[in-house]
Structure 1
């Protein structure tokens, strides 16, 4: 029974090492496509006002209003499509690096508005971008050549360790 469980665990680890980063890449891409698409339609994105205000400040007023929103939307959809398809992935990851910097910029630019006491809904909305940044790091590591490889210990060694632990 234990050998069967060990075999199942080894197979699961091998499957996860082969597929989990690709699943992460595609799911992150879908998130970017979804949030980016919302921004093409004025008044639909819950982060519209904050994202426009942020890009207005970061561009020193060169981009404002719907033009700023359209640039953000196009950038997010482009990032998402590169992640979903795997095409131009390194380019998409470079663009994502800039986008993630922009995602966190409101904390520096509008801190007192985001934290008048308790964090506002917008502050909490931005906070989730920490997870997006961490996922981007894993995907970038893979794109730059890193590999996730399961540890393979001989089953005899695993059984030996279990017997010692039980004793």
Structure 2
């Protein structure tokens, strides 16, 4: 039974529960679509900047002797990778430059592709201890603190791959 509302229009009375659920579902769908659009626009740039910031912070630490807890590992890794040609403080400075410049390139976004190439080089060094020094990364009870540090870099590599999927140029058909 219909009634007349205060505005002179027919009014069917209270909406059935099913109709209210549909309206609520529509509102959630709209909110979800808006959130998805926001994430599609900003999530990869945010990831690019966060990844860059991580590398700037840890890169800058390596400029100062004794500031990075990874100093002995970095020096030993460079020595292993270069057959003893690069080591000591020079290895630390090289690593600091690579990580800091790559991070700044990612943060700025202007040279992000260069930053990703530099990160690819850095990741070789970052993961090399798995091959060269597995005994330092694992103990009887599981990974050492150093091993955990190296293992968490898998997340940084995955983040770099996601950023690369957006930053790298490809053919127009591939995009």
Partner of 1:63: 86
Partner of 1:124: 148
Q: How does 1:98-137 map to 2 (within 5 A)?
A: 98-117=121-140, 118-137=142-161
The answer for unaligned runs of 5 or more in structure 2 is 1-23, 171-175
Residue 51 of structure 1 is aligned with which of 74, 82, 86? Answer: 74
* TM value normalised by structure 2: 0.80
- Partners of 2:151 and 2:65 lie apart in 1 by 23
1:98/1:48 Cα in 2 relative to 1: closer, same or farther (>3 Å)? same
Partner of 1:37: 60
Greater share of helix: 1
- Partners of 2:145 and 2:60 lie apart in 1 by 21
Which of the pair has more CA radius of gyration?
A: 2
Partner of 1:79: 102
Q: Which whole-Å deviations, capped at 9, do the CAs of 1:12-36 have from their partners, x for residues lacking one? A: 0000001100000000000000000
Matched residue pairs, number?
146
Greater share of strand: 2
Bigger relative contact order (CA 8 A; separation at least 6) = 1
Query: Cα RMSD over matched residues?
Result: 1.2
Q: How does 1:14-29 map to 2 (within 5 A)?
A: 14-29=37-52
* TM value normalised by structure 1: 0.84
Partner of 1:3: 26
